[in-house]
Amino acid sequence: MRTELLVAALSGAAAVLSAAYSAQANRKNSLLADALERQKSEHHRLLERQDAMSRFRDPLLWAAFDLQSRLFNIVSGHFLRVYFTQSHDRQYAIRSTLHVLAEYLGWVEILRRRIYFLDLGNREANRQIVALLMRVGSVLNSDSYPDRHFQLFRSDQRAIGELAMSRGKNDCMGYAEFCARLDSDAEFADWFTRLSDSIVELASLPGRHTRLVDLQVALMDLIDFLDPDQERFPQKRRFRTTATGRLS
């Protein structure tokens, strides 16, 4: 009888230990599976962010370059003098300037919606590009300049960015579509009225236009960051004005 009780006790203990071991193994397996799933999800999100950046980095870069180029030509006095004051291309001078600004804001808005921050490989890079985008927005928004030419409040910047996006929301409308919307959609055109008036006033005002100077410099800093090896835009195409220091 004692032998039978001993065997039963040992069997019971073995069963308890086996159950405990099995439960612990199952728990470890569950934790491992959860960890692997989290890693898989994080890796997927990382790939999505990197894919978005690879898809949208160049469009943002080109839009920033086109806008800074127009600003540089306005500040230098060449563009508005030739295309607005001394010729019959006033409509082109106004509309093409509005378009390059809207296109830049459109790509910024697309990126904002697709990824909450731009993943360029490390946190420092994230902070830098966010700071550069915010700096451009701050120059447009600031009321520290002596006039309101080309001033655009932050909410209006986002609104114009939304308007510049194509119907599929993954691209920005081209110049032809932009002009057609100005002609056919009064509500759309109304968003650009104050900016259009600014361009007309700038054409008749001498001076350095400090907001435009600082905006061009801020955009060039963004371009230098997005294209550090000058693969898209060589140094000979990177002209800079001199920052005013008005907005620190």
pLDDT in tens, the chain (248 residues): 566 666 566 566 666 667 667 777 777 777 776 666 666 656 555 555 555 566 778 899 999 999 999 999 888 877 777 776 666 688 888 999 999 999 999 999 998 887 655 555 566 777 788 899 999 999 999 999 988 889 999 999 999 999 999 877 788 999 999 999 999 999 999 999 999 999 888 888 766 789 999 999 999 999 999 888 887 776 767 777 776 555 54
CA angle 150, 155, 161 (to 5 degrees): 75
| Sign, CA torsion 65/133/50/161 | negative
Report pLDDT digits (tens) over 35-80: 666 666 565 555 555 555 667 788 999 999 999 999 998 888 777 7
Give Dmax (Cα) for the chain.
118
Please enumerate in sequence order all residues whose Cβ is within 8 A of that of 148, keeping only pairs 6 or more positions apart, or say none: 198
Helices and strands per DSSP (H, E), number in the chain: 9, 0
pTM beyond 0.85, yes or no: no
CA angle 91, 150, 138 (to 5 degrees): 145
Sequence ranges of the domains in the chain: 56-237
| Sign, CA torsion 148/154/157/159 | negative
